[in-house]
């Protein structure tokens, strides 16, 4: 058996989740776990991979791999899987890797299981642990034939430093004509102004249920009364209602405050992975079927426009008393 | 411009897995995947700026999905193509993307649009498999889309901030649920939808071999259903005017304030 972990990088750093996945697989022992890093001017990254459990690191270094776009990476992986007889390719889920994994699945007619919270081996056979239906069931999933492809849910494994050293092997990069048609015009980076919500003890978060950007004032007032910070979902950040720096979830921040009050947020998995570590979760949502009620400690079915201002008033009164 | 929107029909409520087949129970009410309404809206927006353009809905699902799919026609799409087959049940990404790609190859749209994710599977992966099979460039998670001179520009969010990506047509795009506010079908739209072309095609007619569809054509499988790790107690209240007081009581009891 040979398992390959795709290591994503951003600038000079390997992405923590992908190192976490590498560590988890290396820890299960047995086989040699190798890793692939694909980028441009990335020799320096191979060492890091060794320290986190890779025995062998394939380096695909090519100008076409400079931008974090998926299609050229599918080309690299497809060739590597075939040449090296790799039977399992594992990715830590990100915007980039989901597209790489799905493209590879179609290229190689290889099964892809996503959103896994673990990958275990029973008599050498890999079994994925996949929560489904708003995490109300846990499935054991598997693959028919090889190679097998797996995407591991965001934030599942912490990197484990083992201090090993990897054998580095450069790989040739051959590209399909359509793979380089999409190009990066501008790669903006996170602007980090203001206090970080990651350190806040109390967070009041708003979603599309607010109805419009002006209603974030309701959230801000409650947060102020509680001495907390304001957070937002991707839906409202993408819509330009609130800055990206305040976003919680898969492509935003991961927070674990003492108290998280979610207002007008449906509670999608991609939001949940960023806030499930909160000690107490309160959700206000008018839809009794909203997924967030599955994991809120207190679920309040009602209109946030009614409830939030009253709550703010009560908190203020208590403060004043 | 001809635009194809991939639209999935999903169970409306009461989502459960059938312990027998270990598949999603699709016997109840069906609805258009809410995330695909954003893709349809975006197609209609792009179409509005261009004379002679066409929006076609392409779906792979059970025959009775037709009714729910009409919502897309009522919103304003021109026609729909439903790929349906007894043999298609239980198709995974490999099998579904193969079938959809076959239909898209016949349609030859300049732009293929997908929604953010299917609400029943939360994959958020289909577009990438389709782009690969169609050998076209891809832009995913698009929160803002513009088209000019045969080129697309998409703004998307990743773990590191916003990217701006460009690709020539023909291309495949996956949109975010914040890209627009989908319209509600008007009464006129709903009545008009019935008269729009609605084609139901079997997999065989598109040359999809029986062993490439359904479970036979899938490369993943479900071995067992289990219980997730238990979570803490969850309490639920309905607001009767006193919810704010009850929240305070709860927070005090939990020593959260
Ligand atoms: C790759 C990927 C990455 C993603 N990353 C993230 C991420 O980092 N963070 C994130 O948040 N999402 C992320 N998402 C998006 C996620 O899937 C959801 O689309 C998003 O979280 C939905 O945001 P929302 O809850 O604000 O909106 P909606 O899902 O539209 O929910 C709005 C809720 O408000 C309720 N509501 C409406 N009116 C009222 C009212 N008056 N009072 C009370 N309640 C009301 C509604 O019942 C509804 O439940 C990602 C998706 C993908 C595919
Ligand atoms: N069976 C299907 N028929 C048509 N479109 C689909 C189907 N499955 C997925 N899609 C499209 O792919 C998008 C992402 O789905 P998924 O990757 O399954 O979460 C959906 O929003 C649809 O646009």
Residues of chain B in contact with residue A293, where contact means CB-CB under 8 angstroms, are: 234, 236
Mean pLDDT of A53-80: 97
Confidence bin at A124 (pLDDT 50/70/90):
confident
Q: Read off the pLDDT of each residue in A228-242 and give the average, rounded to a whole number.
A: 96
- pLDDT over 70 percentage in chain B: 100
C-alpha distances in angstroms, A133 versus A46, A285, B228? 38, 19, 11
- For residue A208, the CA-to-ligand 1 centroid distance in Å is 6
Read off the pLDDT of each residue in A244-266 and give the average, rounded to a whole number: 97
Residue B22: the pLDDT is 81
For residue A11, the SS3 value is: coil
What distance in angstroms lies between residue A155's CA and the mean position of ligand 2's atoms?
Answer: 25
Residue B251 to residue A282, Cβ atoms within 8 A: yes
Tokens of B60: 């792979």
Residues in contact with ligand 2 by the CB-under-6-Å rule are B 6-8, 33, 35-36, 39, 59-61, 96, 100, 114-115, 117-118, 121-126
Write down the pLDDT at residue B26.
81
Contact B31, B59 (CB under 8 A): no
Tens of pLDDT, residue by residue over B177-197, are: 999 999 999 999 999 999 999
Cβ A71–B224 below 8 Å, yes or no? no
Please give the pLDDT value at position A31: 60
The reported pLDDT for the residue numbered A134 is: 83
Residues of B in contact with A236 (CB under 8 A): 178
Q: Which atom of ligand 2 is nearest to the CA of B116?
A: 21
B14-39 residue pLDDT tens: 577 888 888 888 888 999 999 999 99
Q: Are B148 and B49 spatial neighbours (Cβ–Cβ below 8 Å)?
A: no
pLDDT tens readout for residues A176-231:
999 999 999 999 766 666 668 999 999 999 999 999 999 999 999 999 999 999 99
Q: Give the mutation candidate from B18, B37, B93 for the A interface (greatest A CB count, under 10 A).
A: B93
What's the mean pLDDT when you consider all of chain B? 94
Q: How many CB atoms lie within 10 A of CB A43?
A: 12
B226 band by pLDDT with thresholds 50, 70 and 90: confident
Q: Which of B13, B168, B239 sits opposite A307 (nearest CB)?
A: B239
| Contacting A residues, span 20-39, partner chain B, CB-CB under 8 Å | none
pLDDT digits (tens, 9 = 90+) for B118-131: 998 889 999 999 99
> Looking at beta carbons, which residues of chain B come within 8 Å of A95?
140-141, 156-159
CB contact under 8 A, A235 and B177: yes
Task: Report the distance separating Cα A102 and Cα A114, nearest Å.
Answer: 10
Q: Are residues B9 and B69 in contact, defined by beta-carbon separation less than 8 angstroms?
A: yes
Interface of A with B in 139-198 (CB under 8 A): 139-145, 176-178, 181-191
Give the Cβ contact number of residue A138 at 10 Å: 18
* Å from CA of B99 to ligand 1 middle: 30
Q: Are A282 and A300 in contact (CB under 8 A)?
A: yes
Closest Cα to atom 47 of ligand 1: A287
| Residue whose C-alpha is closest to residue B87's, from B206, B197, B6, B198 | B206
Q: B138 pLDDT exceeds 60? A: yes
- Segment B209-238 shows an average pLDDT of 90
- pLDDT tens figures, A84-100: 999 999 999 999 999 99
Q: What is the pLDDT of residue A192?
A: 61
Q: Give me the pLDDT at residue A194, please.
A: 60
Q: How far apart are CA B58 and CA B200, in angstroms?
A: 10
Mean pLDDT of B7-19: 84
| Angle ∠(B249,B252,B255) on CA atoms, nearest 5 | 155
Here the tokens at position A306 are 């009614």
| Nearest ligand, measured from the Cα of B97 | 2
The answer to whether the CB of B55 falls within 8 A of the CB of B193 is: no
pLDDT top residue among B174 and A136: B174
pLDDT at A191: 60
* Distance separating alpha carbons of residues B58 and B78, to the nearest angstrom: 11
Indicate which ligand has the atom closest to the C-alpha of B118: 2
Integer angstrom CA distances of residue A296 from A230, A300, B61, B210, B236? 18, 9, 34, 45, 9
* Joined tokens for residue B16: 């459960």
- Tell me phi and psi for residue A99, to 5 degrees: -70, -40
At B74-84, the pLDDT tens digits run: 999 999 999 99
Q: Do B153 and A95 touch (CB under 8 A)?
A: no
Using CB atoms, pick whichever of A137, A251, A303 lies closest to residue B225.
A137
State residue A151's pLDDT score. Answer: 98
- Quick one: pLDDT band at residue A123, thresholds 50, 70, 90? confident
A75 vs A163, residue with greater confidence: A75
Q: What is the pLDDT of residue A193?
A: 60
The CA A170 to ligand 2 mean position distance, Å, reads 36
CB A319 within 8 A of CB A313: no
- B168 closest CB neighbour out of A181, A185, A258: A181
Q: State yes or no: pLDDT of A247 exceeds 80.
A: yes
Give B146: exposed, middle or buried? Use CB within 10 Å, 0-12, 13-18, 19+: exposed
Report cis status (omega within 30 of 0) of the bond before A147.
Answer: yes
pLDDT at A190: 64
pTM for the model: 0.96
Q: Calculate the dihedral angle through the C-alpha atoms of B99, B100, B101, B106, rounding to the nearest 10 degrees.
A: 100
Tokens 């929107």 -> residue: B5
In 3-state terms, what secondary structure has residue A67?
A: coil
Cβ(B219)–Cβ(B94) below 8 Å:
yes
Sorted by sequence, the CB contacts under 8 Å of residue B41 that are 6+ apart come out as B75, B179, B180, B181, B182, B183
Per-residue tokens: A310: 């009253």
What's the mean per-residue pLDDT of chain A?
Answer: 94
CB A245 within 8 A of CB A188: no
- Does residue B102 carry a pLDDT above 70? yes
DSSP reduced 3-state for B4: strand
Query: How many cross-chain Cβ pairs, A to B, lie less than 8 Å apart?
Result: 275
Pick B133's closest partner by Cβ from A70, A106, A279.
A106
**Of residues A140, A311, A79, A209, the one with CA closest to residue B249:** A311
């Amino acid at each position: 058996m040979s398992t390959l972990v795709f290591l994503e990088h951003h600038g000079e750093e390997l992405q923590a989740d992908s190192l976490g996945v590498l560590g988890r697989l290396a820890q299960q022992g047995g086989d040699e776990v190798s890793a692939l890093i694909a980028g441009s001017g990335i020799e320096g990254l191979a060492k890091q991979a060794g320290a986190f459990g890779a025995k062998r690191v394939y380096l695909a270094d090519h100008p076409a791999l400079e931008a974090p776009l998926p299609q050229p990476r599918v080309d690299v992986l497809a060739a590597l899987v075939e040449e090296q007889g790799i039977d399992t390719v594992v990715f830590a889920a990100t915007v980039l890797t989901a597209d790489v994994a799905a493209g590879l699945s179609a290229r190689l007619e290889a099964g892809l299981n996503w959103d896994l919270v673990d990958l275990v081996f029973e008599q050498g056979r890999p079994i994925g642990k996949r929560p489904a239906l708003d995490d109300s069931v846990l499935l054991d999933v598997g693959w028919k034939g090889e190679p097998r492809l797996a995407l591991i849910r965001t934030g599942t494994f912490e990197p484990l430093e083992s201090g090993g050293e990897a054998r580095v092997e450069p790989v040739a990069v051959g590209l399909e004509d359509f793979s380089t048609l999409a190009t990066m015009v501008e790669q903006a980076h996170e602007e980090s102004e203001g206090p970080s919500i990651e350190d806040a003890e109390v967070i009041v978060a708003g979603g599309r249920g607010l109805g419009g950007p002006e209603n974030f004032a309701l959230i801000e007032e409650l947060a102020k009364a509680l001495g907390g910070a304001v957070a937002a979902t991707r839906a409202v950040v993408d819509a330009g209602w609130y800055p990206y720096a305040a976003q919680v979830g898969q492509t935003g921040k991961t927070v674990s405050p003492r108290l998280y009050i979610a207002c007008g947020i449906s509670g999608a998995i991609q939001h949940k992975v960023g806030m499930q570590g909160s000690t107490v979760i309160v959700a206000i949502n008018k839809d009794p079927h909203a997924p967030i009620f599955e994991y809120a400690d207190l679920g309040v079915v009602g209109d946030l426009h009614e409830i939030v201002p009253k709550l703010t008033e009560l908190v203020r009164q208590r403060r004043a008393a | 411009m001809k635009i194809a929107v991939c639209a999935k029909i999903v169970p409306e409520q009461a989502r459960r897995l059938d312990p027998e087949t270990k598949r999603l129970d699709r016997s109840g009410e069906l609805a258009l995947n809410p995330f695909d309404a954003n893709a349809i809206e975006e197609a209609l927006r792009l179409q509005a700026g261009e004379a002679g353009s066409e929006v076609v809905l392409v779906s792979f699902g059970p025959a009775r999905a037709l009714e729910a799919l009409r919502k897309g026609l009522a919103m304003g799409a021109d026609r729909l193509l439903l790929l349906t087959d007894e043999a298609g049940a239980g198709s995974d990404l490999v099998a579904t993307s193969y079938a959809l790609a076959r239909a898209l190859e016949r349609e030859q749209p300049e732009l293929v649009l997908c929604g953010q994710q299917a609400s029943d599977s939360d994959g958020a992966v289909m577009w990438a498999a389709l782009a690969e099979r169609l050998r076209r460039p891809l832009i995913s998670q698009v929160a803002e889309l513009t088209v000019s001179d045969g080129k697309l520009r998409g703004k998307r969010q990743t773990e590191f901030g916003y990217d701006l990506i460009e690709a020539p047509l023909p291309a495949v795009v996956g949109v975010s649920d914040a890209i627009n506010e989908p319209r509600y079908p008007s009464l006129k739209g709903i009545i008009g939808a019935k008269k729009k072309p609605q084609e139901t095609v079997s997999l065989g007619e598109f040359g999809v071999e029986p062993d490439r569809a359904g479970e036979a054509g899938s490369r993943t499988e479900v071995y067992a259903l289990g219980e997730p790790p238990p979570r803490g107690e969850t309490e639920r209240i309905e607001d009767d005017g006193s919810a704010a007081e009850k929240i305070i009581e709860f927070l005090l009891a939990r020593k959260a304030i």
